[in-house]
Structure 1
């Protein structure tokens, strides 16, 4: 675990695997930290250089005041990857992490050779929806949203298991201001036009029970990128890497092999 000061924020990050391994960068969702990817990492091919980080306002990263812009989240990530001398990575982004992936690929194609856009979209929700959630957090903290978020995040079967408490606790213990800041960034983002200009290998992953970014929304975004692939994971919600880690790792590994990254 390490910290990198971008000049605007201190980012908590972790690198696993050999220094000369093919880089795979993971960006997690709103309300989670880098542990989101723990279930799938042991199932990925050996020899990869795995890079994970907590975006601003999440996990062990610092939490600047005020609303954030998607541009600032993209720049944070860009600066971290430049610091780590990353070139031509495969970037795996889930939810807001997938929005960061789209923005970074448009801005710095030298950093990214392929993207995995998981449970995400070029535009997620609308301003009114995000304003309502931001207002609820300001009034009652993330705890006020936690049960409703669990319903969007996970399929019915998973919500009946003891493991649900782990993810509910992770959400509720994020910084309220960090959640609000990133929610504002999502609210202000519409990547339909820039994403439609991308020309790189791309895989979309959706969960059949996802209440945050339903499969049709993910597929619509992938249709913007010529030649992209799409995979639906059944019996999974917004975080299929948690609910169906074996299938998620298998699909990701096949994609990595397909683009010559393994």
Structure 2
């Protein structure tokens, strides 16, 4: 379905039992809501799953003005508002996890438990992001797709699962260059290392043991900063929800179902 948020059209999808608790899923940079397909069978057994495409990704419109990670979190709240959902669990990967950090520290009452997967509270240096912005504006996502796939998936998984590689390449290449560039700028300018210390919600941090993008060290910083946060390390690179789909799904559902 389409929802209008902050003057932009957002692509949103609901799956699973209508009376079940809501689990909101937020996608990574240069992907879309289909990135969650490996989890859908497990998640929809227990939850009403709310997926959406972040700004400039998938079926969601490209923003015409710069925005911040906080704005992405506000988008998530506005989607909940539009659907009449008072409170939800949350799970985000990479940029989705960055969105989740802002969401739980600034809109804590709207979120029950949060899973921040393969993510970081700050990602430098700025020149790295500026280079990517220039590259995609000049040559489209074709300019970064090969390097992105190599960061996202280990060599072993790429050789074993060509169908997953093809699906992921398709997501990346289907991302509008300007949507990618605008989100790169939001990530470039983000620093939540101190502000996440105020988070009080239950949080699980999922870390990829071989993640070269949001490294295990970056995940450990997030875990250490958030009071009471727990962490799970999975044997994979950046998209652990693909490389370790069953273990990822189990870690999320176990955490969400845990007693306070």
TM-score range, shorter chain: over 0.9
Q: Which residue of 1 aligns with 2:244?
A: 244
d(CA) in 1 for partners of 2:227 and 2:103? Answer: 18
Tell me the alpha carbon deviations over residues 111-170 of structure 1, each in whole angstroms, 9 at most, x when there is no partner: 101110000011122211101111111121111111111111001112223221221121
Distance 1:97 1:149, change over 3 A: same
SS at match of 1:36: helix
1:134 aligned partner: 133
Moved more, 158-167 or 89-98: 158-167
150-159 vs 38-47, which moves further = 38-47
- Compute the displacement of 1:8 (Å): 2.4
Match of 1:100 in 2: 99
Q: Measure, in 2, the Cα distance between the counterparts of 1:152 and 1:259.
A: 35
Match of 1:255 in 2: 255
CA distance in 2, matches of 1:42, 1:15: 13
1:23 maps to which residue? 22
SS of 1:134's equivalent? helix
Moved segments of 4+, more than 6 Å: none
Q: Which residue of 2 aligns with 1:62?
A: 61
Partner Cα separation in structure 2 for residue 126 and residue 86 of structure 1: 37
Correspondence list, 1:71-82, <5 A: 71-82=70-81
User: Superposed, which structure 2 residues align to 1:1-262 within 5 Å?
Assistant: 2-44=1-43, 46-160=45-159, 161-163=161-163, 164-234=165-235, 236-259=236-259
8 Å contact from structure 2 (residues 116, 203) kept in 1:
yes
CA RMSD for the aligned pairs? 1.4
Question: Secondary structure, in 3 states, of the residue corresponding to 2:108?
Answer: coil
Distance 2:94 2:226 in 1: 17
8 Å CA contact retained: 2:207, 2:234: yes
What stretches of structure 1 of length at least 5 have no aligned partner?
none
Which secondary structure does the structure 1 equivalent of 2:90 belong to? Answer: strand
The 8 Å contact of residues 25 and 92 in structure 2, kept in 1 or not, is answered as yes
Distance 2:67 2:171 in 1: 21
What is the SS of the residue equivalent to 2:225? coil
Cα deviation for residue 195 of structure 1 reads 0.5
Structure 2 gaps of 5+ residues are none
